[in-house]
């Protein structure tokens, strides 16, 4: 494919040097390619995966970001919210008010590999990645960013639909349900209500009473499996769903990817 020609005596020095001479004059009288880093910086593209930032007003504390983090460098930490923050909280306002402490993500950037899964799988779009990349620090402790240090406030909140990126939803086994309603208390999107269940159910301790069972609004379920984790009777398990845009807030044909 590439042209083959006979190699002559000019190809020892002269012809190769033509190339280097050309480049020499080009970069002497033009601008060299290299960027003088600390003084000049290249602009990252808008998709750049840099340090994380959390829009607290959108965050519902569901913990999916910690769930999908391959390095487990992201943990949900209980955080005190001020009254104003509680008022502004959008989806999670009820959780913030009900629980003594709301949970917000904190990141250990010493372990983070900037894969962007937390951003991709966030059901509300609260987790974002900025183009800030100069995170170097002199100590390991300095790389642990507490939840509040990553908080950002946007003047106008994007109206994003709740999306179930986890492709799973909880399924109830009403046989073992004891009707404790812990799942309702902990559901970050308030998609569970307690309603009629098994009548005259015999519990483990021998007492017999009517039990209320949880019912799920799958249109706004985000598949965070918080209910499965808090269930004391192991009566919930996750099962795959067919469509990620099953959320009721999504209109047909709308692009779901933020």
Partner 1 sequence: MAEMWISMGPQHPMTHGLWTLKVKVDGETIVDADPELGYLHRSVEKMGERRKYFMNTTLTDRLCYASSTTWTHCYALSVEELMGVEVPQRAQYIRTIMLELQRLASHLMWAGAYMPDLGHITGALYFWRDRELFLNLLELPSGSRLLYNYIRIGGVKRDLPDGFEEKTERILKLFEQRLDEYADLFENSKIFRMRTEDVGNFTASQAMNLGITGPNLRGCGTKFDLRKQDSYEIYDEIDWEIQTREAGPGYGDCFSRYMVRIDEMKESVKIIRECFKKMPAGPTMASKVPIRASGDAFRRTEDSRGEALMYLVGDGSDRPYRWKIKSPMFTTISACPHYLKGYKVADIPSIMGSIDICIGETDK
Partner 2 sequence: MSLFSFCRWMAEWTANYMLIPVFDFQKNLFPPFSHPAGTIADWLGTDGGLDTLAWTFAVNIAFAIGMTNLILVIHLERKIAARIQDRRGPMLSFRSFRELGEDLAGEAPSWRFKDNYSGIGILQNMADGIKAITKELIVPAKADKFLFTMGPIIFISSSVFLLVLFPLSDRFAASSAPAGLMVIMAAFSIAPIGVLTSGWASNNKYSMIGGMRSAAQLMSYEIPLLLSMAGVFLLAGSFDPVTIVEQQQEGTWLFGLPMWNFIPQFLGFIVFMICILAEVERVPFDLPEAEAELVEGWTTEYSGIRYMLFLAAEYIRGFAGAAVCTILFLGGWAGPWPIPPEIWFLSKVYLILIFWIFIRWTVPRIRTDQILELGWKKLLPLSLINILIVIFMVEIYPYFSDIVNLPEVF
Partner 3 sequence: MEITKFMKKLSSHKGVSDVALIRDNVVKLDLGKEDSKDFFISLKEDYGFEHCSLISAIDNQPQFELVYHFSVIEGSIFIKDSPKTVMIEIHIFLERDTPTIESVSDLWFGANWHEREAYDLMGIYFLGHPDLRRVLLPEGFAGHPLRKDYVYEIHEEEW
Among partner 2, partner 1, partner 3, none, residue 21 binds (CB under 5-8 Å by kind)? partner 2
User: What tokens appear for 254 in the block?
Assistant: 């709308």
Q: How many Å separate Cα 226 from the centre of its chain?
A: 15
Binds partner 2 (CB under 8 A): choice among 7, 39, 43, 255:
39
**Residues whose CB is less than 8 angstroms from the CB of residue 57 and which lie 6 or more positions away in sequence, other chains included:** 85, 88, 89, 90, 126, 153, 154, 157
Beta strands at 52-55 and 151-152: parallel, antiparallel or unpaired: parallel
Least Cβ distance, residue 224 to partner 1 (angstroms):
14
**What is the per-residue binding string for partner 3 in 177-216, x denoting contact by CB under 8 A?**
----------------------------------------
Among partner 2, partner 1, partner 3, none, residue 26 binds (CB under 5-8 Å by kind)? partner 2
C-beta closer to partner 3: residue 111 or 151:
111
Does position 34 bind partner 2 by CB under 8 A? yes
Does position 144 bind partner 3 by CB under 8 A? yes
Question: Which residues of the shown chain bind partner 1 in the complex (CB under 8 A)?
Answer: 1-3, 5, 7, 9, 11-12, 15-16, 18-20, 22-23, 33, 44-49, 68, 70, 113-117, 120, 129, 166-168, 240, 242-244, 257
């Amino acid at each position: 494919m590439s042209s083959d020609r006979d190699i002559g005596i000019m190809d020892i020095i002269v012809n190769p040097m033509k190339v280097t001479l050309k480049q020499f004059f080009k970069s002497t009288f033009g601008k060299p390619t290299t960027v003088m880093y600390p003084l000049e910086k290249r602009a990252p593209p808008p998709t750049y995966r840099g340090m994380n930032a959390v829009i607290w007003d959108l965050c519902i504390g569901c913990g999916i970001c910690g769930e999908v983090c391959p390095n487990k460098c992201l943990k949900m930490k209980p955080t005190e919210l001020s009254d104003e923050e509680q008022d502004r909280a959008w989806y999670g306002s009820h959780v913030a008010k009900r629980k003594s402490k709301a949970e917000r993500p904190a990141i250990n950037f010493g372990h983070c590999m900037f894969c962007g899964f937390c951003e991709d799988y966030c059901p509300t779009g609260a987790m974002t990645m900025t183009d800030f990349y100069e995170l170097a620090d002199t100590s390991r402790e300095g790389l642990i960013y507490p939840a509040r240090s990553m908080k950002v406030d946007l003047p106008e909140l994007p109206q994003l639909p709740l999306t179930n990126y986890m492709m799973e939803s909880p399924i109830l086994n009403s046989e073992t349900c004891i009707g404790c309603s812990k799942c309702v208390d902990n559901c970050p999107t308030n998609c569970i209500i307690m309603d009629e269940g098994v009548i005259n159910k015999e519990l483990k301790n021998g007492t017999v009473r009517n039990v209320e069972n949880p019912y799920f609004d799958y249109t706004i379920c985000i598949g965070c499996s918080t209910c499965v984790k808090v269930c004391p009777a192991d009566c919930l398990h996750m099962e795959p769903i067919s469509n990620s845009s099953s959320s009721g807030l999504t209109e047909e044909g709308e692009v779901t990817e933020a």
